[in-house]
Amino acid sequence: MGLAFSCVLLGCASAVWAANDALPSWTAGPAKQAIVKFVGEVTHKGSPRYVAPAERIAVFDNDGTLWSEQPLYFQFIFLLDQVKAAAPQHPEWKDNPAFKALQSGDHALIAQHQKELLQLMAVANSGMTVAEYDKTIRDWIATARHPKFKKPYTELVFKPQLELLAYLRANGFKTYIVSGGTIEFMRPWAEKVYGIPPEQVVGSSQLIKFELRDGKPTLVRDAKIDFVDDGPGKPVGIYRNIGRWPLIAFGNSDGDLQMLQTVAARPGGGLALIVHHDDAEREFAYDRQSSIGKLDKALDQAQSDGWTVVSMKRDWKRIYP
């Protein structure tokens, strides 16, 4: 309260006012208020919580935080197509439990085999150059449609989050994706859709090798997962790729728990935010029991530690652009 008061005295009111215009898809309420208050405090020079622009880092999970993730992580739908296409070259997959799960179409079963499926995908696209692989992703993203909404996946991004990303950047923040998905899957469209450039996309990655092909420097994919940027991997990904302690983290599931814990523990205070998917009508409703995007431990800690839980139903006037 002392901070809020000094902030008003020192002129944060103008930042608050500007934010009201910058976040039109956010309902006036505690979530929006928490964001605007925090941004006002860290950006106002006279504030005791002031942070220099170079240090203003905000990290966002992607699946379920910036775009939808049901009925199955969109990268898994791509993976499904990729693995199926490669299956004729891999008769050894026939008895592989992960491959069987994929073929069953059972989302809970697929989610259980998440790690093994990423391995199959790594095998499926190994030997491709990074340029060839990039093309398969661009082609898929351009043509694939969501099973429920019948729209391109890149249109199933959350309008309030696009506004928040732009609002943070306007306040001097560098915005990053920190996702369990792979860097290759997000980079081709993240800049256009989110305004987040390739160098600010942190994600899982496959082993890549340099070779000269006909004298031409070439990067080739190896059949091995190199880094899993999920759960406890997220703070590690942040450390490796950013090397600064983010001020703001936004997630939606237990895969974001350690990232949220890390940001909440920032000296001087960090803002931990969670999207709660509670809107079955406009999007999907799921949390503690979901096989995709399970929000359980992180929800408990949000409640005990006072993290900001954003209800899609209550806090977002619109979902999609």
Interface residues with its own copies (CB under 8 A) are: 54, 57, 130, 174, 183, 187, 191, 197-199, 201, 205, 208-212, 216-217, 219, 232-233, 235-236, 239-244, 258, 261-262, 265
Q: Which residue, 72 or 141, is less far from its own copies as judged by CB?
A: 141
Distance of CA 101 to the CA centre of its chain: 25
Shortest distance (Å) from residue 199 CB to its own copies: 5
Alpha-carbon distance 298 to 251, whole Å? 9
Q: Which residue, 29 or 127, is less far from its own copies as judged by CB?
A: 127
Where are any strands of DSSP class E within 174-293? 174-182, 201-213, 216-227, 248-251, 271-276
Pairing outcome for strands 201-213 and 216-227 = antiparallel
Alpha-carbon distance 305 to 298, whole Å? 10
Shortest distance (Å) from residue 314 CB to its own copies: 29
Q: Which amino acid appears at position 311 of this protein?
A: S
Shortest distance (Å) from residue 197 CB to its own copies: 6
Shortest distance (Å) from residue 244 CB to its own copies: 6
Evaluate whether 167 touches 160 at the Cβ level (below 8 Å).
no
Please tell me what DSSP assigns to residue 154.
G
Cα-Cα-Cα-Cα dihedral sign, residues 203, 133, 75, 197 = positive
Shortest distance (Å) from residue 29 CB to its own copies: 29
Q: Which residue, 140 or 245, is less far from its own copies as judged by CB?
A: 245
Q: Which residue, 31 or 183, is less far from its own copies as judged by CB?
A: 183
Q: Which residue, 155 or 305, is less far from its own copies as judged by CB?
A: 305
